[in-house]
Structure 1
Amino acid sequence: MPQKVRIALDAMGGDVGAPVVIPGAAISLTRHPDTEFLLFGDRAVIDAELAKQPALKAVSRVVHTDVVVNMHDKPSQALRRGRKNSSMWLAIEAVKKGEADVAISAGNTGALAAMARFCLRMLPGIDRPALAAIWPTTRGDSVVLDLGATIGGDAQHLVTLAVLGSAMASVLFGLERPTVGLLNIGVEEIKGHEEIREAAELLRSMNLPQLNYIGFVEGDGIGKGLADVIVSEGFCGNIALKAAEGTARQISEFLREALSRRWLSKIGYLLARPAFKALRDKLDPNKSNGSVVLGLNGIVVKSHGGTDADGFAYAVDVGYEMARYDLLNKINQMLKRDGGTLVQASATQEAVT
């Protein structure tokens, strides 16, 4: 019988906390019964929610703390005030101690990235974490990173992101050599910042065995599914994510208004309800919830802070998949292949500059 996947949850994280986290974990448990949970937070609040979820309660252990990282806390504040005993820190620390395979939080993104980096440390050759998420496209799903863990980055950093994203795509999609594109303002080689052009030269010249670099991809190419992995530094990546989520909500609202104006529209909606449900499902950001903090010596997943229980369940699903199919080992294998991918990239960049 396969070993259980052990998941540590920051039960107090997010806009709502335990009333979303606990039922979300219960939903994911129905899909992945080989899961055990460590729940960190206010025991009274957690126990009240667990009483409604007997199946989850049977496979969970609660660790009490009344310290919570607030959504508006600066990362430095969170590290100082909640580093040793907040629900977020304790969930991450459980991974470090080997008590859990993955930590999941819907809490403050900056605090989560800072705490995870401080507690788990970075993998050799990687100096900064990155947020990577599954992005639905017209051709299936893609992995997009960095979605805002850090801002800016030189060519070396972008090459690192390409390697990390390829490892995640390999785990999720079963691909030997995922295609990789660099997000840019145009597909021509002369366009974009110097760092992006240098990263493109590196990826072309290195011809890495674990990924297939295909060139620049414009913003509209993400939704078209032009590459299995789209790489961007965190500032542009976060803007792209928020713009896509906002557009999805806007389209849904436009459809709702248009279909409620006239009785003929309402009749048409009733006839086409299955098609509209399929569209709504495609546009639902909750179904793409769960960003992996890549580059750490451990697996950490960030959920949207404002998600509902169904959305949090998808984040738990992502954590389960990353742990069950050994994302960390996959990344380590890629970093060590051919004498060290990142060492080679650094030497090549120095020669170029």
Structure 2
Amino acid sequence: MFKIAVDAMGGDNAPQEVVAGIEQARDRMQDVEFVLFGQLDKVAPLVKDQTRITLVQADEVIEMAEEPVKSVRRKKQSSLVLAANAVKAGEADALFSAGNTGALLAAGIFIVGRIKGIDRPALMTVMPAFGGPRDNFVMMDMGANAENRPTHLYQYGILGSFYANNILGYDQPRVGLLNNGTEADKGDQVHKEAHELLQAGSDKELLNFIGNVEARDILQGPADVVIADGFSGNAALKAIEGTALTLLKLMKESIMSAGPLAKLGGALVKPALKNMQERLDYSKAGGAVVIGVKAPVVKAHGSSEAETIANAMGQIEAMLHADLITKVQAFVNEHADDLVARSDEKNAD
């Protein structure tokens, strides 16, 4: 039986949607228990059925706008910190929150702990692909690190490959480096060196690197794993989100303002538009994973509703069943010379 520690107070709609999502997940997953940390006077009345749900009092809450590292250090009795400590102590197998992203990253890295041999954990998400051989692709870093070294991007290629292979079931996942052109010599020095490292890793069959990919192409599925520095990855994600929302809004406004025939046509295409909207909603695949730490740590969007939170629980369950963290650690140990020696060499340069 797996246990997931849940920050029940994290998120714009907490604790209502968090509790509802956990109960949905509980009903779907027979081999998972949930430990909800929060202010019990607010959480307990929302629980309809306490089967495989344990409630733990947390006196403090880390708010969305608080400074991440300071809040984790100062608010020892917060729902997030208590949940993270439960994972560190082995009382739970994974950590979930829809709250402050930076605070969850800090809790994952400083409390749950970084995997030895991984220089910089990253935030990873699953995105929809509208072309290519597969329906989704993995993208990281989505904003955990504003700046990255070439070795970090190289390690992201390996971590992303592991996730795509073990969780999404992709055989020899194709790894692409997000850049401003597909040629090998494109980009700044960091991306040029990262390209060299990824190619060398591909030559040694540590991963399947296919070269650079451009932001305009990534939704067409040119790669199963797209690697980016945190700044570029986050900017690309926000641009995709904004473009999708704007297009859907413009389509709706155009139909509604174009007269009776257009409205009739809009009614006919409504199911297709709804399907497109659902495919663009990457939260259907779950939350963003803090990958590179010693246990599954997953972050859902702050505005997540119950269904999205339940999907994130399914994502965590898949990671636990696949024993992903143990496999990553074993690979890192086996290839320590490739990972650490490269890091030392590049840092020396």
Give the shorter-chain TM-score range. over 0.9
Q: CA RMSD in A?
A: 1.8
1:340 shift after superposition: 4.2
Contact 2:286 2:309 in 1 (8 A): yes
2:55 corresponds, among 59, 62, 71, to 62
Letter in 1 for 2:14: G
Is residue 249 of structure 2 the alignment partner of residue 253 of structure 1?
yes
**Residue 348 of structure 1: how far off its partner (Å):** 5.9
The answer to whether the 8 A contact 1:163-1:334 is kept is no
Do the aligned residues in 1 keep the contact of 2:122 with 2:141 (CA within 8 Å)?
Answer: yes
Q: Which runs of 4+ in 1 moved over 4 A?
A: none
- Identify which of 204, 208, 211 aligns with 1:215: 211
Alpha-carbon contact 2:127-2:282 (below 8 Å) kept: no
Q: In the alignment, which residue of structure 2 is the partner of 1:337?
A: 334
SS of the equivalent of 1:16 reads coil
Q: Secondary structure at the match of 2:328?
A: helix
The answer for the alignment partner of 2:111 in structure 1 is 119
For residue 281 of structure 1, what is the amino acid of its counterpart? E
Whole-angstrom CA distance in 2 between matches of 1:91 and 1:339: 31
Change (3 A) 1:288 1:252: farther
Whole-angstrom distance in 2 between the partners of 1:143 and 1:350: 27
Deviations 1:283-325 (A, max 9, x none): 2243244011011112110111112222222222222221221
Query: Is 2:81 the counterpart of 1:81?
Result: no
Letter aligned with residue 313 of structure 2: V
1:35 alignment partner, one of 32, 49, 52: 32
Name which of structure 1's ranges 268-277 and 319-328 shifts more when overlaid on structure 2: 268-277
DSSP 3-state at the match of 1:173: coil
- Kindly indicate whether residue 103 of structure 2 is the aligned counterpart of residue 103 of structure 1: no
**Structure 1 residue 347: Cα displacement:** 5.7
3-state SS of 1:58 partner: coil
Q: 29, 46, 57: which is aligned to 1:49?
A: 46
1:150 positional shift: 1.4
Change (3 A) 1:158 1:181: same
8 Å CA contact retained: 1:95, 1:299: no
Q: Secondary structure at the match of 1:230?
A: strand
The answer to whether structure 1 residue 138 and structure 2 residue 126 are counterparts is no
Letter in 1 for 2:294: N
Contact 1:7–1:100 (8 Å) recurs in 2 = yes
Q: Cα distance, 1:189 vs. partner?
A: 1.8
CA distance in 1, matches of 2:36, 2:274: 34
Q: Structure 1 residues 334 and 94 mapped into 2: Cα distance closer, same or farther (>3 Å)? A: same
Change (3 A) 1:264 1:106: same
Q: Which residue of 1 aligns with 2:224?
A: 228
- 1:228, distance to aligned residue in structure 2 (A): 0.8
Structure 2 distance, partners of 1:152, 1:339, is 23
TM-score by length of 1: 0.92
Q: CA deviation at 1:336?
A: 2.7
1:234-249, aligned counterparts within 5 Å?
234-249=230-245
Q: Distance in 2 between matches of 1:126 and 1:346?
A: 10
Deviations 1:121-149 (A, max 9, x none): 21111232200000111141111000011
Question: What is the aligned-residue identity percentage?
Answer: 39
Q: Quick check: 1:176–1:210 contact (8 Å CA) kept in 2? A: no
Quick check: 1:162–1:180 contact (8 Å CA) kept in 2? yes
1:242 Cα offset (Å):
1.1
Matched, 1:317 2:320: no
- How many angstroms apart in 2 are the aligned matches of 1:37 and 1:318? 14
8 Å CA contact retained: 2:128, 2:136? yes
Asked if structure 1 preserves the Cα contact closer than 8 Å seen for 2:9 and 2:79, the reply is yes
Task: Give 5+ residue unaligned stretches, structure 2.
Answer: none
- Deviation (angstroms), 1:259: 2.5
In the alignment, the residues of structure 2 paired with residue 275 and residue 12 of structure 1 have an alpha-carbon distance, to the nearest angstrom, of 36
Aligned partners of 1:289 and 1:304 also within 8 Å: no
* 2:5 is the counterpart of 1:8: yes
C-alpha distance after superposition, 1:273-292 (max 9, x if no partner): 33222112112243244011
Question: CA separation in 1, counterparts of 2:338 and 2:218?
Answer: 26
DSSP-derived class of the 1:99 partner: coil
Q: Distance in 2 between matches of 1:348 and 1:61?
A: 48
Question: Are the counterparts in 1 of residues 128 and 282 from structure 2 also a CA contact under 8 Å?
Answer: no
SS at match of 1:25: helix
Question: Matches of 2:221 and 2:331 in 1, distance apart?
Answer: 24
* Structure 1: gaps spanning 5 or more residues: none
Contact 2:117 2:336 survives alignment (8 Å): no
Query: 2:51 corresponds to which letter in structure 1?
Result: A
